[in-house]
Amino acid sequence: MHRLWDAAERDYRAQLLDALPVGFDGDLLDLGCDDGGWTEQLRLRLGVPPESVHGLEIVPERAELARRRGFDVRVGDLDERWPFDDSSVDLVHANQVIEHVHRLDHFAAELQRILRRGGCAFICTENLASWHNVAALALGYQPFSLTNVSDVRPIGNRFALHVGESPGRASWQHVHVLTLTALRDIFEAHGFTAEDGWAAGYHPLPAPLAARAARLDPRHAHFVGLVVRACS
C-alpha cells in the first residue's frame, strides 16, 4: 500500500507542477505550507521571487521553518478568517488540505475573498470514490481515506496504514473526503469556474498502468486535482 500511495503521489505532484501557469507574474499563497519544502518547488516552477510567496500554517514551528526560506508565512487556522487582505493574491495552492477542513463553505468563501479578480486556485485531495475506498465500503470497512479520524491509530479498517502525514502536527485528521464531482460542485456553488483537473493512482493497479487508468477514469482515481478560477 505504501508503494502504491507513493507512486500515485509522485504522479499527481508532477501533473500539478505541469499545470502551473507559464510566465506567472503575481503572488502565490500556499495553504498548509508546512516547512515550505514543497512551496519552494512551486516557487521555482512559477519563477517568482521568495518575497512573492505567502503561506498559512497552523503549526508555529513549521511556519518558522518556511519563513527561513524568505516566505511571508502567517500562523492560522483555515477554519477561521485567513490573515490576508481581500484581493491580495493571484494563485492559491492547497495540497491535501481541504480534507482536514471542518467548514467547507468557509474555505471556499475565504478563497473567493483573498483572490484577485481572475485569480485561480489549485486544489488537490484524496478521492472518496477511489476504488480502494469503494472496495473497503463494500466489504464493510471504513474507507481508507477516512480511517485517519483518530490520533491513536487508523480506525475502522485493519488494513489501513498512516501514510502521507506531515511531521510535527499534533493532529492531522481527515474530516471531509470528497469525490471529484463534489469537489467541483462546492467551488462552483461559490461562484468559481472549474477549468481543469488531473488524477493519479488507480488501485490496485501498479504504475504505469495506474497512471493511464487514472487519466481515463479520474472519478475513481486515488488523488484528484482541480483548478478553479475566481469570478472575473
Residue 179 and residue 219 in contact, taking contact as beta carbons nearer than 8 Å: yes
Model pLDDT, residue 53: 98
Residues 87-119 pLDDT 10s: 999 999 999 999 999 999 999 999 999 999 999
Percent of the chain with pLDDT over 90: 79
C-alpha cell at 154: 487508523
- Cα separation, 225 vs 200, whole angstroms: 9
Q: Which residues contact 74 (CB under 8 A, 6 or more apart)?
A: 54, 55, 56, 57, 63, 83, 84
Q: Which amino acid is at 93?
A: H
Domain boundaries, the chain: 2-229
pLDDT, average across residues 174-201: 95
Model pLDDT, residue 1: 65
- Cα separation, 172 vs 140, whole angstroms: 25
168: pLDDT strictly greater than 50? no
Residue recorded with cell 487582505? 85
8: pLDDT strictly greater than 70? yes
Residue 141 and residue 159 in contact, taking contact as beta carbons nearer than 8 Å: yes
83: pLDDT strictly greater than 80? yes
Predicted TM-score of the model (pTM): 0.91
**CATH code for residues 2-229:** 3.40.50.150
Model pLDDT, residue 149: 81
